[in-house]
C-alpha cells in the first residue's frame, strides 16, 4: 500500500464528493485527558467506511466528535476541523446534526425498554412531525428492511434479544431520514448469525436508501467485508488506512486484528519498532505508516 501520509494527502485532495471530512482533530476530556490525536478521515457520499480498533482506541470519541455529543461527557474538540455535507461542525448540538441529516446509533443500543418495539421506532421520527398516514407508510418501509421487527412490533423492547434491540436502534435512526449514519459497535455481544443479519441490513440501507455510513467496530473481519474503506486507530492515532480489500490482505492487519497471528497479540507500535530495527532507513509518519 502507498505510504500513509501521501495517501492521506491524496485522499483529502481528491475531487470525490465527501459527505464527511475530518482533518487533524484532537479531543480532550476534562481539559487534561487527550483521547484522540491528529485524526483525519473522510467518508465519500454513499459509501461505508469502517473505523477499526480495540477497546479504548478512540473510535467512539471520534464518532461523538462528529455528532457533537462530546459535551455531555466533558469532552471537546481542541484542534482540527470537521466538515459534514459542506457545513463546518462547530457549535451545533446533537439535535442540530439530526436536522442536518446525521444520526448516531450509540454503543449499547439504548432502547426504551418499557416501550414497544414500534413505539421505539416511531420515536426516531419525532422531529419530522409526520401525519398518521405518513407515519404508517414510513413504518411499513422500515419493516421491509427489518422483517424480524414486524413480528415483534407490539412486544416490549426490553424483552427482545440483543440482536433485535440493535435492529430497533438502527430502525429508529432510519426514521429520522438520515443522509449519514454513525454506527458504534453494532456487532458487540451478538451471535455471529445476528451479526451477519444486521450487516446485511446495513448494506441494504446503504445501497437502496443511499445512506452514507461511518462504522466503528472491533470486529475487523466483519467490518472490512462490509465496508468500502477502512481506518485503523490505536491509542487515539490513525495507524493505517486503505481500501477494505487492501486492509484485509495486509499482513500487519492479519496479524494484529484478524486473529491469525502466530507470534501472539501485539500492537502497531511494536510492529513499527521491529520494522525500524530491521530497516533503519525506513521512516514512519505520525500516523504510524511509512512516510
- Looking at the chain, the whole-number percentage of residues with pLDDT higher than 90 is 75
Whether the predicted pLDDT of 8 surpasses 50: no
Give residue 268's pLDDT: 54
pLDDT for residue 290 is more than 90: no
- 243 DSSP assignment: E
**pLDDT of 11 strictly over 70:** no
Q: Which three cell numbers stand for residue 282?
A: 525506513
- Distances in Å between the Cα of 6 and the Cα atoms of 31, 243, 287 are 32, 15, 11
User: Of 271 and 145, which is predicted with more confidence?
Assistant: 145
**Phi, psi (5° rounding) for residue 89?**
-95, 110
Indicate the helix (H) or strand (E) that contains 65.
Answer: helix 59-67
Centroid of chain to Cα 283: 30
Helices (H), 69-161: 94-99, 117-123, 132-145, 147-152
The mean pLDDT value for 202-218 works out to 97
Count Cα atoms within 13 angstroms, Cβ side, for 191.
Answer: 6
pTM higher than the cut 0.85: no
Lowest mean pLDDT among 3-7, 183-187, 201-205: 3-7
Amino acid at each position: 500500500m502507498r505510504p500513509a501520509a501521501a495517501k492521506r494527502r491524496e485522499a483529502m485532495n481528491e475531487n470525490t464528493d465527501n459527505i464527511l471530512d475530518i482533518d487533524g482533530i484532537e479531543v480532550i476530556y476534562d481539559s487534561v485527558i487527550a483521547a484522540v490525536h491528529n485524526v483525519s478521515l473522510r467518508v465519500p457520499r454513499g459509501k461505508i467506511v469502517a473505523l477499526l480498533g480495540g477497546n479504548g482506541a478512540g473510535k467512539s470519541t471520534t464518532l461523538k466528535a462528529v455528532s457533537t455529543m462530546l459535551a455531555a461527557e466533558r469532552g471537546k474538540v481542541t484542534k482540527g476541523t470537521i466538515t459534514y455535507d459542506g457545513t463546518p461542525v462547530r457549535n451545533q448540538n446533537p439535535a442540530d446534526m439530526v436536522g442536518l441529516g446525521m444520526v448516531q446509533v450509540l454503543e449499547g443500543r439504548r432502547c426504551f425498554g418499557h416501550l414497544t418495539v414500534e413505539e421505539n421506532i416511531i420515536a426516531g421520527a419525532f422531529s419530522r412531525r409526520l401525519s398518521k398516514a405518513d407515519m404508517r407508510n414510513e413504518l411499513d418501509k422500515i419493516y421491509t428492511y427489518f422483517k424480524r421487527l414486524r413480528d415483534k412490533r407490539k412486544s416490549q423492547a426490553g424483552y427482545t434479544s440483543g440482536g433485535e434491540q440493535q435492529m430497533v436502534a438502527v430502525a429508529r435512526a432510519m426514521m429520522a431520514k438520515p443522509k449519514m449514519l454513525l454506527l458504534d459497535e453494532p456487532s458487540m455481544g451478538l451471535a455471529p448469525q445476528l451479526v451477519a443479519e444486521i450487516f446485511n441490513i446495513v448494506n441494504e440501507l446503504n445501497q437502496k436508501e443511499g445512506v452514507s455510513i461511518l462504522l466503528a467496530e472491533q470486529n475487523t473481519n466483519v467490518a472490512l467485508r462490509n465496508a468500502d474503506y477502512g481506518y485503523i486507530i490505536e491509542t487515539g492515532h490513525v495507524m493505517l488506512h486503505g481500501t477494505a480489500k487492501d486492509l484485509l490482505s495486509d499482513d500487519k492487519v492479519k496479524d494484529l486484528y484478524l486473529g491469525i497471528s502466530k507470534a501472539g497479540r501485539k500492537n502497531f507500535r511494536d510492529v513499527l519498532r521491529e520494522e525500524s530495527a530491521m530497516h533503519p532507513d525506513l521512516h514512519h509518519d505520525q500516523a504510524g505508516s511509512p512516510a
